[in-house]
Structure 1
């Protein structure tokens, strides 16, 4: 990618001004897939929800690969081994190798392998992905059923749909006995095709209540998964785009690794969550779904006095308190035909800036969001 200059805005992280039109609006100019040769894609809520693929996701990822993008999949869901995840994705039509899947179990096992001697016994809590990751890292996984008679040096806790109260109890006993405690991730919820279910963070919280200490968390929002992904892709942070549906994990994790983030509205967090997001969790790019990868993305840029511009359109906060709203104009004339997602992209920096300056409250910012058309 070309050299860029850094500007600071209400997004809360460095924004690369790749190109600028004559109005001064910061724009990517090319499609997002062309602007970022490396894509790190989350799975739950982005590519699939439970057993169902997210609409347009597979087609857009295939198109991006056909046009030269490299894609790896990084997930906090530690329950399944990468080969099983890859096979499931191939069943949806995704083109990938097993090595293109990176899980938080891999990050957790790698973290422990740097701290423990080869062959050290580690209590494996979670799905088979936890056990396989420990074995691949040269450690000896111990099942909860064997924990009472097998001393362990650490506990690696990841998500598993079949995790029982007895297994959580064994984790608590080992931790109280001095074992290191590593959690693959702390997502409180997990999106499925039937709704939102408790995630690994909920199970970790149950153990934490019993032991009174916090685990080392290696998955998102930490940088480790994204750093592993960049290594696999062969791209630097400036050339790698993190894609996700959760602000506190996907966006925060990409930022922690120095990457830009694309947030898609197909999973957990919607517009109200976006506008309330603290500075470190505000993504650079917004898409309704992964079709955004094939767009020439017009990125809003500040134009002074609370005014933001993108592709000739201006967004400005008008009114105050409960009557506050974002006005959209082009050439001095309002146009109600501007697409909703374009309005949302323009409204967010306007509202973020007003929030940061204390001009409106969170509730007033949510109320000022453009209504879906």
Structure 2
């Protein structure tokens, strides 16, 4: 029987809950990536976690014995940048405008690099954009400013709606928990840049140069990873090292193409 790694021409692979849990490498994951590199198989790491820049992810993965370049990383800010460049600016020419960010260094840096001016204090309450992501330094003041700005007409973009974040000690509140608070306070639903938005999968496919029908998306969450693959017309693999279980796949009706214990199973016949 042919292994899964031999059935597809390219792979889109989540990080948290698939490659590692917080700082701990999941056994077998590095071996799969090294095999793909040796075999010349294209792959992209597609993460909803915008707390780090692509360069920061490169450094983090190197510590786990995985050598890649920034081009192997796609995260929600890449979609945000693309949409700004394509006229996501309310009729203005090109990127630009003011933004308030609820998020960590990686997201803040990438919003600046996308051409937006970060604002704070009273000016933030009149920002043109509000971006909300995972923020382990969240304060009530940040939530309040985001809500006021959105109620004043700011465009509201969430990096992702992952309710939880998988770690070795269990599930932590994820970006989606913060997004839920802002949504509740503002009375507005966000535009979501990350998975399950199929646009981010399409961006990964474009970067690999692989068609949707020839790719496999690997993730640990049904409602974001697997749902994104289904929306983009890509086969999917749910691994059981993160958030979702095989039972949940049956109960939710979000059906992955394959279910395996971990990423290492890609090499199994």
State the match for 1:69 in structure 2. Answer: 41
Return the structure number with greater relative CO, CA threshold 8 A, min gap 6: 2
Gaps in structure 2 of 5+ consecutive residues: none
State the match for 1:289 in structure 2. Answer: 262
Task: Return the offset for 1:112.
Answer: 4.0
> What is the alpha-carbon root mean square deviation over aligned residues?
1.5
Aligned with 1:190 (options 165, 169, 172):
165
State the match for 2:96 in structure 1. Answer: 119
Aligned with 2:123 (options 143, 149, 172):
149
Which ranges of 4 or more aligned residues in structure 1 deviate by more than 6 Å?
none
**1: CA distance, partners of 2:224 / 2:143:** 24
Task: Report the TM-score, using the length of structure 2 for normalisation.
Answer: 0.93
Task: Return the offset for 1:128.
Answer: 1.4
**2: CA distance, partners of 1:34 / 1:257:** 21
Cα deviation digits, residues 229-254 of structure 1 (max 9, x gap): 10110101011110001111111101
Task: Report the TM-score, using the length of structure 1 for normalisation.
Answer: 0.68
Q: Decide whether the 8 Å contact of 1:43 with 1:74 is kept in 2.
A: yes
**2: CA distance, partners of 1:78 / 1:180:** 19
- Describe the SS at the equivalent of 1:161: coil
**2: CA distance, partners of 1:42 / 1:192:** 14
**2: CA distance, partners of 1:141 / 1:87:** 26
Structure of greater Rg = 1
Task: Return the offset for 1:259.
Answer: 0.3
Cα deviation digits, residues 348-367 of structure 1 (max 9, x gap): xxxxxxxxxxxxxxxxxxxx
**1: CA distance, partners of 2:258 / 2:224:** 16
**2: CA distance, partners of 1:42 / 1:129:** 17
Q: Decide whether the 8 Å contact of 1:78 with 1:160 is kept in 2.
A: no
Gaps in structure 1 of 5+ consecutive residues: 1-28, 297-373
Q: Decide whether the 8 Å contact of 1:46 with 1:267 is kept in 2.
A: yes
- Describe the SS at the equivalent of 1:196: strand
**1: CA distance, partners of 2:220 / 2:151:** 35
**1: CA distance, partners of 2:11 / 2:121:** 40
